[in-house]
Amino acid sequence: MTIYSLYIFDRHCEPVYYQDWHRTRPVRAPPPTSFKPGVHRLPPSQPTDTSTAANGNVRESIFSDNRTSLISNGTTNSNNQKMSLPKGLPFDEEAKLVYGVILSLRNMVKKLSGRDEAFTSYSTSSYKLHLFETPTNYKFILLSDPSSDSLRFVLRQLYVGPFLEYVIRNPLVKVDSRVEGVDNDQFRSAVDRHMKGLSMFN
């Protein structure tokens, strides 16, 4: 059993917190234009092409990967490059996809059951996503491996434990802010400790 990542969204559909553990395709930091402080601690994206970097402030282009492979390997196809190095999405785009999926599934479940029923999890062949929604519309989302049982209790524990203690009761955290997340050292280490203490972490 493995835990991959944790997302917290607020009621404005904005990501306010992100942490990951065992991803083989790490998410990339978003471009500076859509950077929002206090959400994640991803290292800022490095230009992959050294020759571009030498030229100074050139914005990373979507073609830069292909160009590197073309320069280094002559007529190598880009397919080869993709296979050897699975590249992640930038964080802002990934967060939008995650939020879009849970919102659509939630609406679908609501419509099908005809009452205010929450969807709790979905799974694919390679991962399972668990959703826990608080009465204040914070959405806690956890990605784990597909064989795990329901992990909503873990999300609930995170909410009543570290989240209340270090975010809600912390006067320095700007709760309900659209320009800043809720990240702080205590919260991050408490979440980390909690996850690493779980039997399904690994």
Partner 1 sequence: MTIHGLWVISKAGGLVFSRSYSDVLPPQPVNTILTLAGILHGIHAITAKLTPTPIPGVTAGGLESFEAEGWGGKVFLTPTGTKFVVLHSLPQSGLDDLMKRIYEIYSDAVMKNPFHTPEMPINSALFETKLQTLMSGVNA
Residue ranges binding partner 1 (CB under 8 A): 4-5, 20, 22-25, 82-84, 86, 89, 94, 97-98, 100-101, 104-105, 107-109, 111-114, 117-127, 129, 143, 146, 150
Smallest distance, partner 1 to C-beta of residue 149, A: 11
32 versus 114: smaller Cβ distance to partner 1: 114
Smallest distance, partner 1 to C-beta of residue 139, A: 15
116 versus 185: smaller Cβ distance to partner 1: 116
150 versus 186: smaller Cβ distance to partner 1: 150
Beta-strand ranges (E) seen in 47-91 are: none
| C-alpha atoms less than 13 angstroms from C-alpha of 141 in its C-beta half-sphere | 27
How far is the CA of 72 from the CAs of 49, 62, 77, 84, 166, in angstroms? 11, 18, 11, 15, 49
In this structure, the number of other CB atoms found within 10 A of the CB of residue 98 comes to: 19
Smallest distance, partner 1 to C-beta of residue 153, A: 14
Q: Which two tokens stand for residue 107?
A: 């609406």
111 versus 169: smaller Cβ distance to partner 1: 111
159 versus 166: smaller Cβ distance to partner 1: 159
H-run or E-run covering 73: helix 64-73
Smallest distance, partner 1 to C-beta of residue 181, A: 20
Smallest distance, partner 1 to C-beta of residue 169, A: 30
Smallest distance, partner 1 to C-beta of residue 193, A: 21
97 versus 160: smaller Cβ distance to partner 1: 97
Phi and psi angles of residue 15, each rounded to the nearest 5 degrees, phi first = -70, 130
How far is the CA of 201 from the CAs of 8, 10, 51, in angstroms? 19, 25, 41
Sign of the dihedral through C-alpha 78, 81, 86, 87? negative
Rg (CA), the chain: 19
